Amino acid sequence: MKNKLQLIFAILLTANCLLLTAYAQSPKVDKVDPPNWWAGMKINPVRVLVQGKNLQGAKVMSPDGSGFKTYNFRWSENGHYLFFDVKVPKDAKVGKYNFRVVTDKGTSSVPFEIKERMDKTGKFRGYSPDDVIYFLLPDRFADGDQSNNDPPKSKGLYDRKFGRHYHGGDLQGLIDNLDYIKSLGVTAIWTTPVYDNNDKPDYKENYPGMPFTTGFHGYGAIDMYAVDEHLGDMAKLKELVRKAQAMGFKMIQDQVVNHTGPYHVWAEDPPTPTWWNGTLEKHPNNNWQKWTAMNPRATYQTQSRNIDGWFINILPDFNQNDPEVEKYLIQHTIWWLETVGYDAIRMDTLPHVPRWFWKKWMTAIKDEYPNLTVLGELFDSDPVLLAYYQGGRTGHDGIDTKLDTLYDFGLFYEIRKAFAKGGDIRGVHNMFARDWLYPNSEVLTTFLGVHDMERFMWEKGATIEGLKLAQTLIMTSRGTPLLYYGDEIAMTGGPDPDNRRDFPGGFPGDPRNAFKASERTAKENNVWNHLATLGKLRKELEPLRRGKSYDLLDEPQQYAYVRVTDKEAVLVVFNNDKKPAEVHFDTSMIKQIPMNAMMQDGLGKISDIKVENGKIKFTVPTRTAGVFTVK
């Protein structure tokens, strides 16, 4: 009897082991990108990436009678990834579907959802020179929800004492302060990426005096389909965009398709052998030679390290030449737009991605959202290189990138030299003289600084007067002005992360609240009121947004230009000198300015000036600008 029981037990144990072995080898699904799609989209079929285990040799079966078609299967050698195409029927019903991954070892469910398309009213509108953009890092702007400051998923990354830890700013904080932003005359908001970033201390980037760094800035994604838990969640992001757009704001998403963060699971376990340019162990370091892209003499070997190099030798570099990568990145962009309803995209690290990819990517975007604007970041002072990347003209490589606009980095450097460092203003109009290089210089995005350089007020020689002159320039000249959070109150800040300081008053325990005029210093209110007045003038005076520009005076430290529409003219005059200056120039060729008239300064800094027989002559006070209209 005892032997019989032992035999039965052995049989049951063997059967159980076989079942456990079979279960262990059956396919397992952990993540699906994209998690959903929409019927009627231009991209169809959708290329789906499944992450899991034991996916070798797998096929995917669509639900019976659903009308979906699945095909073109591809899996990684280690069985951690499976790619397949899903053809979505035009009449696919909104709802959740369970596809089945099938191997010879078993099956598993692949959840996939068809969602209802978003109403396009008030969304996907793009931005233009009619707008003023406000740029901020959510983590450093305002803490509206203290419950997400140190979430369990990534505990220990929050500490305001360290410049590269999370500080608690979030999407709710931005929602709470939309009225403040609007009061500056701002009509569009750009934030750094909201992608889910690394959930553990980052020891790959080392900085003196800091135990480790974090993904507070958003540029080190570990999941390109999720919102970072320190900022909120997808529902909160949608709430922000919905409320902002209801107030008249355009919303600009920051996207990155050049690289991910070094802690992404793909860094050590890529979905395909050519997912990255190089590997974690052996990869090219970026040499930053951006100009090689426009060099007609260049061979690929002279361009490759700029395009294929890993950013700061740490961030894994996508290989857009891999068809799977190309499809993944294009679909990821469309998914965010349709899911959230953004009006525009700010694209990071533009010149480190092949130019052909931008043409394909832009074509896909414009096919679905023709009015949406894309702003490309090309961090370089050469207007020839900047112009080479703007869409509307084919380069010597036969490619039109189709990119709408870029930051005017060429003008940025001259603004800093003239107004912060005390150099000649002549460099500014010298840069404007190069506008002919661009397919459309009128839509360039102008700025005094962003999060990648020291703040304007950090420059040696920077003054409040110089800051106000610089603000006057970008708010009255061609292009779309962009304001970096805190510049409206003359915040200072040195190299990263000091240039990303917390906005005073946005966080619990702050000694004062600079969102309120009553708690700002006299100096801060001086700058804030000046910028708000400029915002009001730009809104009221169409020539400042859409007018054609004519230079009337270009002296080393004095500059005058007029902006005109068919019926109206606005005259802008600068004196960047440390002493008063007499200026005189002719306006007789400007029909919108009468031959004899009085003109008044909308900034209220200069007394009325007289036009006599088409000529103007008056004295401009030290480091002052005026914005004049016919009285």
Q: Where are the domains positioned within the chain?
A: 2-115, 133-540, 548-630
What Å distances lie between residue 557 and 577, 625, 626, CA to CA?
Answer: 5, 12, 15
Backbone angles phi, psi at 252, to 5 degrees: -115, 120
Give the residues across from 70 on adjacent strands: 86
pLDDT of residue 443: 98
Pair 366, 402: CB distance under 8 Å: yes
- pLDDT-derived band at 208 (thresholds 50, 70, 90) equals confident
pTM of the model: 0.95
Mean pLDDT, rounded, for 45-64: 97
The length of the chain is 631
Residue 235's pLDDT is 98
Torsion of Cα atoms, 527 then 529 then 532 then 537, to 10°: -110
Strands 133-136 and 106-115: unpaired
pLDDT score, position 1: 58
What's the per-residue H, E or C state across 419-441? HHCCCCCHHHHHHHCCHHHCCCH
**Proportion of the chain above pLDDT 70, given as a percent:** 96
146-158 pLDDT, tens digit each:
999 999 999 999 9
Looking at 3.40.50.720, 3.90.1150.10, 3.20.20.80, 3.10.150.10, the CATH number of the domain 133-540 comes to: 3.20.20.80
Q: In CATH terms, are 133-540 and 548-630 the same topology?
A: no
CA dihedral 505, 508, 511, 515 (to 10 degrees): 10
Give the integer Cα–Cα distance in Å for 181 and 503: 13
Q: What is the pLDDT of residues 610-630, one digit of tens each?
A: 999 999 999 999 999 999 999
Average pLDDT, integer, range 295-305: 95
Give pLDDT tens digits for 395-405: 999 999 999 99
Average the pLDDT over 379-405 and give the result. 98
**Stretch (H or E) spanning 523:** helix 522-540
CATH number assigned to the domain covering 548-630: 2.60.40.1180
What is the end-to-end Cα distance of the chain in Å, rounded? Answer: 114
Predicted confidence at residue 525, as pLDDT, reads 98
Return the exposure string of 215-230: e unless at least 16 CB atoms fall within 10 Å of the residue's CB, then b: bbbbbbbbbbbbbbbb
Does pLDDT of 8 surpass 80? no
Q: Residue 19: which H helix or E strand, with range?
A: helix 2-25
Q: Is 406 helix (H, G, I), strand (E, B) or coil?
A: strand
Q: Is the pLDDT of residue 11 over 80?
A: no
pLDDT for 206? 83
| Residue in the block written with tokens 């135990």 | 211
Q: State the average pLDDT over residues 583-605.
A: 98
CA distance 471 to 468: 5
> 2-115 belongs to which CATH class?
mainly beta
What percent of the chain is modeled with pLDDT above 90? 95
pLDDT at position 207 is 86
C-beta separation of 239 from 208 below 8 A? no
What is the three-class DSSP state of 164?
Answer: coil
Residues 414-462: pLDDT tens digits?
999 999 999 999 999 999 999 999 999 999 999 999 999 999 999 999 9
State the maximum Cα–Cα separation within the chain, in Å, rounded to a whole number: 125
* Arithmetic mean of pLDDT, 63-73: 96
pLDDT, one tens digit per residue, over 329-361 is 999 999 999 999 999 999 999 999 999 999 999
Token representation of residue 63: 């639900």
Query: pLDDT tens digit string along 513-553?
Result: 999 999 999 999 999 999 999 999 999 999 999 999 999 99
Cβ count near 612 (within 10 Å): 11
7 has pLDDT over 90: no
Can you tell me the mean pLDDT for 554-582? 98
Mean pLDDT of the chain: 96
pLDDT band, very low/low/confident/very high, at 9 (cuts 50, 70, 90): low
Q: Is the pLDDT of residue 20 over 60?
A: no
Residue 2: what pLDDT? 57
Query: What residues contact 593, with CB distance under 8 A and at least 6 apart?
Result: 562, 569, 571, 587, 599, 611, 614, 630
Residue ranges of the alpha helices (H) in 117-272?
138-141, 171-176, 178-182, 234-246, 265-268
* 23 or 282, which is more confident: 282
In the prediction, which pLDDT does 302 show? 95
Average pLDDT, stretch 290-313? 96
Question: C-alpha angle with apex 400: 395 to 406, nearest 5 degrees?
Answer: 95
